[in-house]
């Protein structure tokens, strides 16, 4: 690759004229024949954008003007790096300099990643004609531009920073969600990571980064790689959508249908490649990708509408996908030639996907938070008695063993209270099971009201309750038991009237070896209270009043 002479002063006086174009209709023309066609007026002025998919080979003639007295080394950008067969003739007076490039030749000749095909040209004083012939089944996208060496260096640097930031941001999100998937599971995380990576791969492909830096000798790969990456990106987006929205579970048939569609889309390009049908591959990949990128919008809209806007993560998804799809559609249509080509149009997909990735990351975090809330609720439910809302035995065991260990280590008092409703069976039998339930709920509320925050109340089962009371000796615990008994006795008639309670109290003593022994002592005291005629408090180791 010949290096152009370096210009230190800014070049503002060299100008590039309007491009003129002509489609070849028959056999390939030579430069002399194209020049004859030019003189015959066969070229038309102006280049509105891409010349489309599978366009006829085209000639483009552009004039550069160097008003200086000496020759200038400049860099001429012809078009995108994916063009297959490109010839450039630099014509000045009688001299012609020819360049052959394009991704049909190994070596990624004259490819500047992110910028396209850029050829160093020497512009002699006066007019120089730049004749380009392009022949490609890929989108025929030409965008002539002239840069000085300094401008090219600056443009390359800005482009490199831009792609570095884009790949860095999207790549970091992809890695983060892959790690989230490894630690939390949830296939939507892994599908999202794959989707983001497929975007980076696609972008590396179509901007020429891959052809330039990764596979410059692999001409066959370069011919099909962008098409494969497009269909992969479209399919990854669909699969992610199905997983994120949970449609693989809620709508299995639809999900299977779309998976089938994705398989057909993914297989189409490799199948065409096997038969060497490059043009067919292009004609399959573009429409498939357009449909595949539109499907997630329909899916997101469907789920968000059904939830009437209440499903926050579906709303995030829909907003995200609209950005991503908007970018994809604008870029695809600009490259395809169905929209006028502009630099912002070409980069719309990158901006759209960066916004989409941000919103989807928010949506996925919301899902993670939701799942955590459900998990916490389930854990709380597993520790709560469904009838009374008091802690159940599982929760009691966790908190009570802590209270026990603290009491033993710091030689602090600890008492247990066991209480049982008197003749509860009769309440059930006479007033009905519902009244029995109301009675247990009422009693649980009274127990909670009498408890300190450090006390550990529990519905032991049936009509039996236990309260573990740190820092209380037997007498204080018995006083609290007595208050409860009195409250139950004074139960308002509207609540079902007086209620007899038998209560047993025990304090941890030097001989109480375990928590179970303490509870057993309180239970024994309860039995004494029952035996002594019910509706009373008994303290372990003392006579019942
Ligand atoms: N309504 C209702 N009844 C329950 C529930 N759990 C257990 N029971 C009933 O509570 C009664 C418990 O009776 P026991 O404690 O054995 O005896 P009791 O009638 O209270 O008599 P004493 O304890 O000897 O005073 C049984 O009839 C159980 O069917 C419940 O969740 N709701």
- 525 C-alpha to ligand 1 centroid (Å): 19
Answer yes or no: is the C-beta of 531 below 6 A from any ligand 1 atom. no
CA dihedral of residues 423, 425, 427, 433 (deg, nearest 10): 160
Q: For the ranges 6-10, 141-145, 230-234, which has the lowest average pLDDT? A: 6-10
Match 């009570």 to its residue by tokens: 400
pLDDT at residue 332 in the model: 84
Q: What is the widest separation between alpha-carbon atoms in the chain? A: 128
Atom of ligand 1 nearest to the CA of 433: 1
Answer yes or no: is the C-beta of 437 below 6 A from any ligand 1 atom. yes
Q: Name the percent of the chain lying above pLDDT 70.
A: 98
The residue whose CA is least distant from atom 3 of ligand 1 is 436
Answer yes or no: is the C-beta of 425 below 6 A from any ligand 1 atom. yes
Residue from 393, 427, 428 to probe ligand 1 pocket by mutation (most atoms less than 8 Å from CB): 428
Task: Provide ipTM, 2 decimals.
Answer: 0.95
pLDDT at residue 311 in the model: 86
Answer yes or no: is the C-beta of 435 below 6 A from any ligand 1 atom. no
Q: What is the mean pLDDT of residues 407-421?
A: 96
Q: Name the percent of the chain lying above pLDDT 90.
A: 75
Atom of ligand 1 nearest to the CA of 422: 25
pLDDT at residue 6 in the model: 53
Atom of ligand 1 nearest to the CA of 387: 31
Task: Write the CB contacts of 194 (distance below 8 Å, at least 6 apart in sequence).
Answer: 236, 239, 240
Pick the more confident residue, 336 or 145. Answer: 145
pLDDT at residue 333 in the model: 86
Task: Tell me which H or E stretch contains 152.
Answer: helix 149-184
- 444 C-alpha to ligand 1 centroid (Å): 15
Q: Which two tokens stand for residue 49?
A: 């954008």
pLDDT at residue 533 in the model: 95
- Cα–Cα distance between 43 and 291 in angstroms, integer? 36
Q: What angle do CA 342, 336, 235 make, to 5 degrees?
A: 110
The residue whose CA is least distant from atom 13 of ligand 1 is 425
Task: Tell me which H or E stretch contains 136.
Answer: none
The residue whose CA is least distant from atom 8 of ligand 1 is 462
Q: Is the pLDDT of residue 369 over 90?
A: no
Q: For the ranges 333-342, 343-352, 513-522, which has the lowest average pLDDT? A: 333-342
The residue whose CA is least distant from atom 7 of ligand 1 is 462
pLDDT at residue 4 in the model: 53
Sign of the C-alpha dihedral, residues 466, 424, 490, 529? negative
- Cα–Cα distance between 240 and 242 in angstroms, integer? 5
Atom of ligand 1 nearest to the CA of 440: 32
User: In terms of Cα–Cα distance, which of 413, 404, 397 is closest to 507?
Assistant: 413
pLDDT in tens, 273-329: 999 998 899 999 999 998 998 899 999 999 999 988 888 888 999 999 999 888 988
Atom of ligand 1 nearest to the CA of 436: 1
DSSP string of 354-378, one letter each residue: HHHHHHHHHHHHHHHHHHHHHHHHH
On whether the CB atoms of residues 147 and 74 are closer than 8 A, the answer is yes
Q: Which two tokens stand for residue 141?
A: 């996208």
Answer yes or no: is the C-beta of 433 below 6 A from any ligand 1 atom. yes
Where do the H-state alpha helices sit in 8-77? 31-39
pLDDT at residue 164 in the model: 96
Q: For the ranges 71-75, 332-336, 465-469, which has the lowest average pLDDT? A: 332-336
Kindly provide the b/e burial profile for residues 45-67, where b requires at least 16 CB atoms within 10 angstroms of the residue's own CB.
eebebbbebebebbbbbbebebe
Q: What is the mean pLDDT of residues 394-416?
A: 94
Pick the more confident residue, 10 or 337. Answer: 337
On whether the CB atoms of residues 503 and 469 are closer than 8 A, the answer is no
Residue from 390, 463, 527, 528 to probe ligand 1 pocket by mutation (most atoms less than 8 Å from CB): 463
Q: Which two tokens stand for residue 344?
A: 């912002």
Q: What is the mean pLDDT of residues 534-538?
A: 96
**Average pLDDT, rounded, for the chain:** 92
- 427 C-alpha to ligand 1 centroid (Å): 9
Atom of ligand 1 nearest to the CA of 464: 15
Answer yes or no: is the C-beta of 356 below 6 A from any ligand 1 atom. no
In 373-430, at which residue ranges do the beta strands (DSSP E only) sit? 414-421
Task: Write the CB contacts of 78 (distance below 8 Å, at least 6 apart in sequence).
Answer: 86, 88, 101, 116, 117, 118, 119, 132, 134, 142, 144
Q: Which two tokens stand for residue 414?
A: 């600890």
Query: Collapsing DSSP states into helix, strand and coil, what is residue 469?
Result: strand
Q: Are strands 464-470 and 456-461 parallel, antiparallel or unpaired?
A: antiparallel
Match 């004859």 to its residue by tokens: 36
Answer yes or no: is the C-beta of 436 below 6 A from any ligand 1 atom. yes
pLDDT in tens, 166-191: 999 999 999 999 998 998 888 888 99
Atom of ligand 1 nearest to the CA of 425: 19
pLDDT in tens, 194-230: 999 999 999 999 999 999 999 999 999 998 999 999 9
The residue whose CA is least distant from atom 16 of ligand 1 is 425
Q: Any idea how long the chain is?
A: 545
- 462 C-alpha to ligand 1 centroid (Å): 5
Query: Collapsing DSSP states into helix, strand and coil, what is residue 62?
Result: strand
- Cα–Cα distance between 503 and 526 in angstroms, integer? 5
The 3-state secondary structure of 244-288, one letter per residue: HCCHHHHCHHHHHHHHHHHHHHHHHHHHHHHCCCHHHHHHHHHHH
Answer yes or no: is the C-beta of 423 below 6 A from any ligand 1 atom. yes
Q: What is the mean pLDDT of residues 146-155?
A: 94
Q: Residue 456 — pLDDT band, cuts 50, 70, 90?
A: very high
pTM of model > 0.95: no
- Cα–Cα distance between 406 and 429 in angstroms, integer? 43
pLDDT in tens, 51-93: 888 899 999 999 999 999 999 999 999 999 899 999 999 999 8
- 99 C-alpha to ligand 1 centroid (Å): 98
Atom of ligand 1 nearest to the CA of 428: 1
Answer yes or no: is the C-beta of 442 below 6 A from any ligand 1 atom. no
Q: What is the mean pLDDT of residues 357-365?
A: 89
Q: Residue 25 — pLDDT band, cuts 50, 70, 90?
A: very high
pLDDT at residue 9 in the model: 57
The residue whose CA is least distant from atom 26 of ligand 1 is 425
- Cα–Cα distance between 292 and 155 in angstroms, integer? 34
Residue from 385, 386, 422, 424 to probe ligand 1 pocket by mutation (most atoms less than 8 Å from CB): 424
The residue whose CA is least distant from atom 32 of ligand 1 is 437
Residue from 385, 425, 438 to probe ligand 1 pocket by mutation (most atoms less than 8 Å from CB): 425
| CB-count burial class (<10 Å; 0-12, 13-18, 19+) for 320 | buried
User: In terms of Cα–Cα distance, which of 251, 246, 247 is closest to 186?
Assistant: 246
Atom of ligand 1 nearest to the CA of 435: 1
pLDDT at residue 359 in the model: 93
Q: What is the mean pLDDT of residues 111-133?
A: 96
* CB atoms inside a 10 Å sphere around CB 88: 21
The residue whose CA is least distant from atom 30 of ligand 1 is 462
Q: Is the pLDDT of residue 1 over 50?
A: no
Name the DSSP letter for residue 214: T
């Amino acid at each position: 690759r010949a290096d152009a002479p370096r210009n230190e002063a800014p070049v503002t006086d060299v100008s590039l004229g309007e491009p003129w174009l002509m489609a070849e209709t028959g056999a390939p023309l030579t430069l002399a024949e194209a020049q004859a066609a030019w003189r015959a007026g066969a070229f038309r002025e102006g280049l509105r954008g891409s010349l489309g998919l599978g366009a006829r080979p085209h000639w483009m003639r552009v004039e550069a003007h160097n008003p200086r007295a000496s020759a200038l080394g400049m860099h001429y950008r012809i078009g995108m790096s994916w063009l297959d067969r490109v010839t450039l003739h630099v014509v000045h007076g009688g001299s012609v300099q020819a360049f052959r490039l394009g991704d049909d030749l190994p070596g990624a000749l004259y490819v500047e990643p992110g910028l396209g095909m850029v050829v160093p040209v020497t512009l002699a004083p006066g007019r120089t004609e730049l004749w380009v012939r392009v022949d490609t089944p890929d989108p025929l996208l030409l965008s002539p531009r002239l840069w000085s060496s300094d401008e090219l260096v600056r443009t390359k640097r800005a482009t490199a920073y831009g792609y570095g930031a884009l790949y860095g941001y999207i790549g970091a999100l992809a890695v983060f969600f892959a790690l989230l998937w490894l630690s939390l599971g949830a296939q939507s995380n892994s599908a999202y990571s794959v989707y983001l990576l497929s975007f980076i791969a696609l972008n590396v492909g179509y901007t020429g980064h891959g052809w330039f830096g990764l596979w410059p000798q692999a001409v066959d790969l370069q011919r099909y790689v962008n098409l494969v990456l497009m269909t992969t990106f479209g399919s990854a987006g669909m699969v992610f959508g199905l997983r994120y929205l949970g449609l693989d579970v809620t709508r299995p048939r639809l999900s299977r249908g779309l998976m089938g569609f994705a398989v057909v889309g993914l297989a189409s390009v490799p199948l065409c490649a096997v038969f060497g049908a490059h043009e067919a591959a292009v004609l399959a990949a573009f429409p498939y990708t357009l449909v595949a990128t539109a499907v997630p919008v329909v899916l997101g809209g469907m789920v968000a509408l059904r939830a009437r806007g209440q499903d926050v993560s579906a709303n995030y998804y829909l907003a995200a996908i609209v950005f991503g799809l908007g970018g994809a559609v604008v870029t695809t249509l600009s490259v395809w030639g169905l929209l006028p080509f502009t630099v912002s149009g070409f980069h719309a997909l990158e901006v759209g996907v960066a916004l989409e990735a941000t919103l989807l990351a928010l949506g996925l975090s919301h899902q993670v938070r939701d799942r955590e809330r459900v998990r916490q609720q389930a854990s709380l439910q597993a520790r709560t008695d469904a009838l009374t809302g008091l802690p159940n035995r599982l929760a009691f065991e966790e908190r009570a063993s802590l209270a026990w260990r603290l009491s033993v280590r710091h030689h602090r008092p600890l008492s247990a209270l066991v209480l049982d409703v008197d003749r509860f069976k009769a309440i059930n039998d006479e007033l009905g099971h519902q009244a029995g339930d109301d009675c247990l709920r009422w009693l649980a509320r009274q127990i909670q009201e009498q408890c300190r925050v450090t006390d550990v109340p529990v519905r032991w089962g049936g009509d039996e309750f236990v309260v573990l009371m740190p820092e209380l000796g037997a007498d204080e615990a018995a006083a609290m038991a007595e208050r409860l008994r009195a409250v139950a006795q004074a139960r308002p008639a509207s609540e079902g009237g007086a209620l007899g309670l038998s209560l047993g109290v025990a304090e941890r003593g030097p001989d109480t070896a375990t928590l179970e022994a303490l509870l057993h002592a309180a239970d024994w005291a309860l039995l004494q209270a029952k035996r002594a005629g019910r509706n009373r408090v008994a303290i372990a180791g003392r006579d019942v009043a």
